[in-house]
Chains A and B, each alone.
Chain A
Amino acid sequence: MAPKTSAEVGGMGHSVKRKEDPRFIRGKGTYVDDIQLPGMLYLDIVRSPFAHAKITKIDASKALAIPGVLAVITGQDLAKYNLHWMPTLMSDTQMVLPVDKVMYQAQEVAAVLATERYIAADGAAAVEVEYDPLPVVVDPKKALEPGAPVLRTDKKDKKDNHIWHWEWGDKGAADRAFRDAEVTVKEDIYIPRIHVASIETCGCIADFDRVQGRLTVWMTTQAPHAIRTVFALVAGHVGLAEHKIRIISPDIGGGFGGKVPVYPGYVIAVAASVLTGKPVKWMEDRMENLQADSFARDYHITAELAAKKDGTLTALRIKTIADHGYADAAANPSKFPAGLFHICTGSYDFKAAHVEVDGVYTNKPPGGIAYRCSFRVTEAVLTIERMADVMAHQLGVDPAEFRLKNFIRPEQFPYKSALGWEYDSGNYAGALRKAMDKIGYAELRQEQAEKRKRGELMGIGISSFTEIVGAGPSKQFDILGIKMFDSAEIRIHPTGKATARFGTKSQGQGHETTYAQIIAEELGIPAADVQVEEGDTDTAPYGLGTYASRSTPVAGAAGAMAARKIRDKARKIAAYLLEAAEDDLVWEPGKFSVKGSPQRAKTIQEIAFAAYTNHPQGMEAGLEAVSYYDPPNLTYPFGSYICVVDIDKGTGEVKVRRFVAVDDCGNIINPMIVEGQIHGGLTMGLAPALFEEISYDEEGNIHGGSFMDYLLPTAVETPNWETDKTTTPSPHHPLGAKGVGESATVGAPAAIANAVVDALWHLGVRHIDIPITPAKVWKLLREKNVSE
């Protein structure tokens, strides 16, 4: 679709260069750790070496003897203010600092406040803690066995480690379909614990002004307003009221879900600043970030598919054990303890489906956040796409043909899924066919057959994913009761330039550019003339923040709606200026003209000037609007990815030879930025597919607690992604957009895993859990006697 605006205006569809870049390429960004305030103190944290232990003694005397160490804060100190526990977003509780026992390795035990960063670290090293180790529960299945040590002894009457049971769908219908099925397949799929590992870790500066009773927190947060409300709710009893709290989220070095939760370090820093009246900085290091911040995934899944002999899918059944660590600190909408996992019917027309999830406590860090995905959508997509391949192979049908046969067809939209979602729009076959053409699917299958004859291992994997993003409609979606709308406020100044503020917060997505383009599209004011601001709760309208690909679907829509309110007022002013009836005016981007006499026109800039200098009597002066947008539905971006891998029979290494990604995110605001989001998302899909995992030994010792062994892909392992698109607008979004930030992370792992299994299926391999490391593949090759 050709852009409606000129390149100078830079509305939707233009690859406008980013407004953020000039500061970042000069090293002039302002991230939290770049801020230094006069008299600022530093916080460092003492962490537990044990995964489960009673704390018998904390001796701070040696730490306090170090010049510059001002205080050692323990759980007992916070307990005086009832701040030693805090609520999680999922209505569970989590320790800020422990008073009696620790529940995972690297848990916060005490905090040291000092005049300098290094002295705080010295102090943390000098605090002596004595522990009495307790039995450790690492495996969530063992955690559910009778007689397993009960971890949450803080909860009266808690007799086991089971947190909640959740199920969705028609169990009777699904069971009947399986009973009557001609073909069924079943697999155990483990999706391991991983960590978003944004290159900037988490941290904050809390600055309490005793005179004004006002707290300012510069913080690595994706959701500043929600954080402000949480702080007011948690610390209201010690005098922090919401109007006296200002959260500033400055430049953020990547979020991906990891900067949604409230971590204990933030709370301790706030408490320390309130108690001392001085600014307090806390920045975690990388090991703390990997070992203690919220993890993602950790789903133990058993999935089953039922089909007819002709390959028609009929039913899906899934049972899952969700390992939440010692607290359910997931960041899901309140009504959905397993997030949006029930999008697991994917792109296929199932008649029956049922899904069950059980949350379990173990001695691991709390969490269950997303890793660049919309609340467990990746778990859902990996499961259904892996299972689709298993069924296709079982039936002896080509996986592409199998998908084309079972896709929801374009004419079925809006489509009500067996698990109750209403998919807005899609053309799944269109995306898959485009990907097949681009990669040369038929030729690749031929090459594979020839290579197989020679004993070479080559695989082709498909993932035809459907996402569910843009949470969300207020009837279903809230976080701690706050509905998941988002907001925009636009002010057009007398000279025709604009300032626009949003309730979200970019962490690299380029909102300063794309939101300006939305306003350019709607009002014809050049994007260069629109200043976008986010992340300061004192100035931005209330919003729920940026995660789950919700910025464009929700806040972007709010921007368009606010701009349309402005346009409505501009029409009235133009009618007055042109002495014409409003109905006789024609809008084209940037101006109103009189129907039939295009030379009689007023530009938006002229109208803006008049709004302050010559507005009609009886009308309020000014030209501004606010919109709080409550989306009528979620959006459903989709795509088809095809991956080609070659497997080294000597080492087990999987080499991604080609990867074609065809994405459909509806109408596109900035093609350059969308492509960049897909490149990055694909790389964060490659990462857990082949490299990343955080695991624990039986004592609860972490593996993968630093970049030494938690392997982020470098430029060398990352293939040269090939991208393309189809465009199926969302029918309910004001711009027809759907959101794109996470599609690729959601879709990619299944394509890679399917390609590897595809290379090995003829040897009897049905499934390999990600990450598919050389060691895992090599072991399989040895078992099958094909290693070299």
Chain B
Amino acid sequence: MSAMLVRVSINGEKREAEVEPRLLLVHLIREVFRLTGTHIGCDTTHCGACTVLLDGRPVKSCTVFAVQAHGKEIMTVEGLEQNGQLHPVQEGFTQEHGLQCGYCTPGMLMTSYAFLKKTPSPSEGDIRWAISGNLCRCTGYVNIVKSIQYAAAKLRQGGA
């Protein structure tokens, strides 16, 4: 299969790679760029462990071809921390015990990050719907909801 050139900005850094057209975005991120925070949990776009932002929108990177990201901005979990400062969603997940095995966490964080940009004062129901495309097998979601509420409050106060 002939290779195609993909140029992207990932977490603010310009990167390019020659890839097969069939290469999934998640594999570009994990195996070509070696950013392994983005995880793979299913093959059917259900679990959300691979969620990244593509031009600010959360996408499940296991169901996007790498070439579809050409010319776009990708943000992954590794891009949340800025200048040694954790993003409030990261802080919230730690403070409220919103993670256990940590495998779904990067996807949860990216979904939460994008959601709170759009919905700064969410209800509990809003939060539950927002993360319903991200499966967690460990936490029972209660503390994830609290983590996102923590981040929302912090962001409203002008954090990050």
Contact = CB atoms under 8 A, between A and B. Distances in A.
A286 B47 CA distance: 10
A680 B98 CA distance: 11
Given A200-B101, A200-B103, A118 B22 contact: yes
Nearest to A672: B97
Contacts of A197: 137
Contacts of B127: 715
Contacts of A29: 37, 102-103
A118 B94 CA distance: 36
Contacts of A708: 44, 46
Residue in B102, B103, B128, B139 whose Cβ sees the most chain A Cβ within 10 Å: B102
A27 B77 contact: yes
B97 A25 contact: no
A716 interface: yes
Given A251-B102, A253-B101, A286-B43, A715 B141 contact: yes
Contact of A684 (B105, B134, B137): B137
Interface stretch (B2-10, B142-150, B152-160): B142-150
A157 B103 CA distance: 47
Given A31-B39, A117-B27, A197-B137, A21 B99 contact: yes
B137 A712 contact: yes
B95 A199 contact: no
B53 interface: no
> Dominant SS at the A interface?
loop
A679 B139 CA distance: 6
Interface stretch (A77-85, A503-511, A563-571, A602-610): A503-511
Interface in A265-310: 285-287
Contacts of B46: 707-708, 712
A510 B97 CA distance: 11
Contact of B78 (A27, A672, A684): A27
Interface residues of B, number: 59
A716 B132 contact: yes
B106 interface: yes
Nearest to A27: B37
Given A286-B43, A715-B141, A28 B37 contact: yes
Contact of B99 (A24, A118, A683, A714): A24
Nearest to A718: B141
Nearest to A256: B137
Contact of A286 (B30, B42, B138): B42
A252 interface: yes
B13 interface: no
Contacts of A200: 39, 41, 101, 103
B140 A680 contact: yes
A24 to B, nearest CB: 3
A721 interface: yes
A676 B36 CA distance: 26
Contacts of B86: 25
A286 B49 CA distance: 12
B44 A706 contact: yes
B78 A199 contact: no
Interface of B: 20, 22-23, 27, 30-31, 34-44, 46-47, 49, 76-78, 80-81, 86, 90, 93-95, 97, 99-106, 109, 124, 127-129, 131-145
17 contacts: A22-B94, A25-B86, A26-B78, A27-B35, A27-B36, A27-B77, A118-B23, A199-B49, A199-B136, A199-B137, A254-B103, A507-B101, A508-B101, A675-B97, A706-B42, A715-B131, A715-B136
Interface of A: 17-18, 20-31, 33-34, 36, 117-118, 196-201, 251-254, 256, 285-287, 507-510, 672-673, 675-684, 706-708, 712, 714-716, 718, 720-721
Closest 7 CB pairs of A and B: A27-B37, A253-B103, A508-B101, A24-B102, A679-B140, A27-B77, A508-B100
